[in-house]
Amino acid sequence: MPSKYSRLEAKKFAVNRSSRIFERPLDINGNLQKVSEYYGESVFHYLTAPGIPESIKDELLAVSTSGTALKKEHADIVAKAVTEWATQKGATHFCHWFQPLTGSTAEKHDAFLDLDGETPIEKLSAGQLMQGEPDASSFPNGGSRSTFEARGYTSWDLSSPMFLIDGVNGKTLCIPTAFVSYHGDALDMKTPLLRSVTNLNEVATKFMNMIGFSNTKKVTVTCGAEQEYFLIDKAFYFARPDLVMTGRTLMGSLSHKNQQLDDHYFGRIPERVLSCMEEIDFKLHKLGIPAKTRHNEVAPGQFELAQIFREANVSADNNQLVMAVIKEVAEKHNFIALLHEKPFAGINGSGKHINWSMATDDGMNLLEPGVNPEKNLKFLAVTSIVIEAVHRRAKLLRMAIASQGNDHRLGANEAPPSIISVFTGSNLEKIFEAIKNGETVTEEGKVILDLGANQLANLMMDNTDRNRTSPFAFTGNKFEFRAVGSSQSISFPLSILNAAVTEVFEESIAFLEKEIKATSVETALMNLTQKWLKSSWNVIFNGDGYSQEWVKEAEKRGLPNLKNTADALPALLDQEQTKYMVEKGIFRRNELDMRYNVLVESYNTLREIEFQTQMDIVKKNVLPATLEYKRILGKVIKQQKDIGLESSVEVELYKKLNFTVESLYANLSNLSNACEALNGDAAKNSFEIANNIFPLSQALGVSCNQVEDLIPNDLWQLPTYYEMLFLR
Ligand code: ADP
Ligand code: MG
């Protein structure tokens, strides 16, 4: 089949696929097992594992929570137990599983096989469990180490359970680890996250004790991520070099029906997609990841998966696996899952809402307003602390979600703007306003919604409405950081957010220490809340974040508006913004520099790959299609002329095509010249790319779409938006 028909071939494949059936395990009666029967089957946690004495479990727990040193003999007991467990389940290999600065995960496999003399045995030693030594030089390090120091260490994270991943013919035991350099610099996403939760625990616990909750011994950060993704048929994917190379379409004329009718969101899930989701959930549940919600998203072909929240570090590991499992299972169903923030221009992109709160060991959610939020001083104070943190570290939070992919979402009329603000909902805003102004807070009446139909159960009105335009919203009993990109690791934004909140907690403790000497705890808490609300009032915004008025208003309020990645990343180098994190060792100064370098370089590289790929497609696909069409038109025109007929329509078409191709070619040359002229250092290039070259690439994309609209169906080789989004 000649290649120009590849698109039509792909279409045939896509529409004729059937749903994949996977085997769900049966119970002894031959019925399908309940989820609770296989949930966590592929997970090993020393706390629940058989073969580990209770006393040692306690010691291990102490190690993971209070940072005491792990004894080798204890690690040995875990190593033996996990080897027994994993090899019985069919595992042949183990690996240290870690999260380098690429944002994805890495693993290096070793066999359990060992030789005892000449006798083959299965073995994982305490040393192998606790520490690994992958060569660090091939992972992004932002130029922080010279090659003679290329050694890196992975170190077992006791707080996140080990798990088995399935290969086609065997299994591998994954040991979650942190990844650090020879000098202990964090080369990964996990290490700073662990430091940040440790620091937050310390100050938040102290805070709780101070305000009268003397039983609180620990405060953990809780997090639940919602993951958005697109599914398109595999056949289309491989016929789109831009998707394969860059994860997004670099051109593509929007179909006439896309998401205007809002008929996809929460709609009936297409059968083939549902069967894929069922297998995704099955796999995740076996991995002990509590996948909870699945539904269609706003854009055609777009879906969401949300899991039940848990401790932040485990949640971050979970989300990495969620992304991996979605991709892997999708392929089995002949889909490709696109996790890019903006695979298709003109329709919604994908994000990842990080639901975030803090919980005490004795079961309190610090952001739970309760029935009388206006009287819940702990809630009011903690909420004001978070708001102050977001206000103060808005630049860092914006930086933490910056990527070339997310640049397409933030500020587009579908996703939170790049201006960081906090949505509180109107009830809370009223209460806060009164506190700020030193007025008495009146009780907000509970509103029951009258539905006018007795058959229906009473609905209590939520005390927050659903403002989808806010990057950071209070949603009932947690905050939701909504501006996070769909493909990124949640660890980084979590670390930054935790650090920002820790800083304000610490200042709050100092404030309260003084206040409590002079007045009651209640008054002190009110004063604290008032203090933070006064200083952070500007960041609270409950209006339409998509509107142009907000951009102007935010500027008046002095809120930063870092429009793209190039603008946002320098916050990492801003000593005023990062001082606290560095002081507390959540990030070392050189780790921040390292991250800046890695992020700038990856931004530049990813954009350059996009530019080159786009120019390639123009030369190899778009231009040849125009030539072919011109050839056909030319032939018709000549034919008509030969028999003495006018061909006004054909000539019109020819002229129009010619005109469009001319501007396409001019745009191609502009982009090509601009890319060649790029010769600054990475930082300078990032601005040049963001401000000058990227717009050229967008202009080229528009030209391509104009051409696509003119070219006959059978001459156009690239699968269209209509096909990719609607055919499955
Ligand atoms: P929506 O899409 O309406 O925002 P979902 O039910 O899809 O809501 O997602 C809500 C997410 O928030 C879930 O992952 C849930 O587990 C999480 N969540 C709920 N309470 C907390 C909490 N206290 N801390 C962190 N996350 C939470
Ligand atoms: Mg949500």
CA 283-284-285 angle, 5° bins: 90
Q: What is the atom index within ligand 1 of the atom nearest the CA of 475?
A: 4
| Interval between CA 100 and ligand 1 midpoint (Å) | 27
Ligand 1 neighbour 477 (Cβ under 6 A): yes
Say whether 507 sits in a helix, a strand or coil: helix
Pick among 3.40.50.10860, 2.60.120.620, 3.10.20.70, 3.40.50.2300: CATH of 39-186: 3.10.20.70
Domain spanning 195-250+261-450+464-587: CATH superfamily: Glutamine synthetase/guanido kinase, catalytic domain (3.30.590.10)
Q: Please list, in sequence order, all residues whose beta carbon lies within 8 angstroms of the beta carbon of residue 587, skipping any fewer than 6 positions away.
A: 186, 192, 195, 495, 499, 578, 581, 595
Q: What is the pLDDT of residue 8?
A: 87
Partners of 359 in beta bridges? 220, 365
3-class DSSP string for 218-260: CEEEEEEEEEEEEEEEHHHHHCCHHHHHHCCCCCCCCCCCCCC
pLDDT band at 149 (very low <50, low <70, confident <90, very high): low
Ligand 1 neighbour 335 (Cβ under 6 A): no
- 607 and 404 in contact (C-beta within 8 Å)? yes
Q: At 146, which amino acid appears?
A: S
pLDDT band at 2 (very low <50, low <70, confident <90, very high): very low
Average pLDDT (719-724) is 93
Partners of 353 in beta bridges? 226
Partners of 119 in beta bridges? 116
**CA pair distance 584, 290, nearest whole angstrom:** 33
**CA pair distance 426, 213, nearest whole angstrom:** 29
Ligand 1 neighbour 159 (Cβ under 6 A): no
Query: What does the mean pLDDT of the chain come to?
Result: 91
Residue whose pair of structure tokens reads 């894929």 in the numeric block: 276
Evaluate if residue 146 carries a pLDDT over 70. Answer: no
Average pLDDT (337-366) is 96
Q: Please list, in sequence order, all residues whose beta carbon lies within 8 angstroms of the beta carbon of residue 612, skipping any fewer than 6 positions away.
A: 675
Report helix angle 623-642 to 648-677, nearest 10: 160
Residue whose pair of structure tokens reads 């309190």 in the numeric block: 364
pLDDT band at 451 (very low <50, low <70, confident <90, very high): low
**CA pair distance 154, 628, nearest whole angstrom:** 56
Residue 546 in tokens: 């998509």
Q: Please list, in sequence order, all residues whose beta carbon lies within 8 angstroms of the beta carbon of residue 457, skipping any fewer than 6 positions away.
A: none
Q: At 534, which amino acid appears?
A: K
Q: 536 or 453: whose pLDDT is higher?
A: 536
**CA pair distance 403, 341, nearest whole angstrom:** 9
Ligand 1 neighbour 355 (Cβ under 6 A): yes
- State the pTM of this model: 0.94
Q: Residue ranges of the domains in the chain?
A: 39-186, 195-250+261-450+464-587, 603-726
Express each pLDDT in 594-647 by its tens digit.
999 999 999 999 999 999 999 999 999 999 999 999 999 999 999 999 999 888
Q: What is the atom index within ligand 1 of the atom nearest the CA of 309?
A: 16
| Interval between CA 480 and ligand 2 midpoint (Å) | 7
The pick from 386, 474, 478 for probing ligand 1's pocket by mutation, whose C-beta has the most ligand atoms within 8 angstroms, reads: 478
Q: What is the atom index within ligand 1 of the atom nearest the CA of 355?
A: 26
Q: What is the atom index within ligand 1 of the atom nearest the CA of 225?
A: 14
The backbone region for 21, taken as left when phi is positive above 0, alpha when psi lies in -120 to 50, beta otherwise, is beta
CATH of domain 603-726: 1.20.120.1560
Q: What is the pLDDT of residue 70?
A: 85
Nearest to 291 by CA among 271, 311, 277, 312: 277
Q: What is the pLDDT of residue 411?
A: 79
- 95 and 107 in contact (C-beta within 8 Å)? yes
List Cα–Cα distances, 705 to 398, 440, 721, in angstroms: 32, 60, 11
Output Rg (C-alpha) for the chain, integer angstroms: 28
- 484 and 351 in contact (C-beta within 8 Å)? yes
Between 328-337, 389-398, 450-459, 672-681, the lowest mean confidence (pLDDT) is in 450-459
Residue 8 in tokens: 């039509």
Average pLDDT (159-185) is 93
Q: At 708, which amino acid appears?
A: E
The reply to whether 195-250+261-450+464-587 and 603-726 are identical in fold is no
Residue whose pair of structure tokens reads 């933070």 in the numeric block: 532
The pick from 200, 227, 294, 309 for probing ligand 1's pocket by mutation, whose C-beta has the most ligand atoms within 8 angstroms, reads: 309
Average pLDDT (316-342) is 97
Nearest to 409 by CA among 467, 305, 485, 471: 485
Ligand 1 neighbour 468 (Cβ under 6 A): no
Burial class, 245, CB count within 10 angstroms (exposed 0-12 / middle 13-18 / buried 19+): middle
- Alpha-carbon torsion 602, 604, 610, 615, what sign? negative
| Interval between CA 227 and ligand 1 midpoint (Å) | 12
Q: What is the atom index within ligand 1 of the atom nearest the CA of 476?
A: 20
Nearest to 96 by CA among 65, 140, 127: 127
Nearest to 321 by CA among 421, 431, 176, 213: 176
Between 388-397, 434-443, 512-521, the lowest mean confidence (pLDDT) is in 434-443
| Interval between CA 314 and ligand 1 midpoint (Å) | 15
Ligand 1 neighbour 226 (Cβ under 6 A): yes
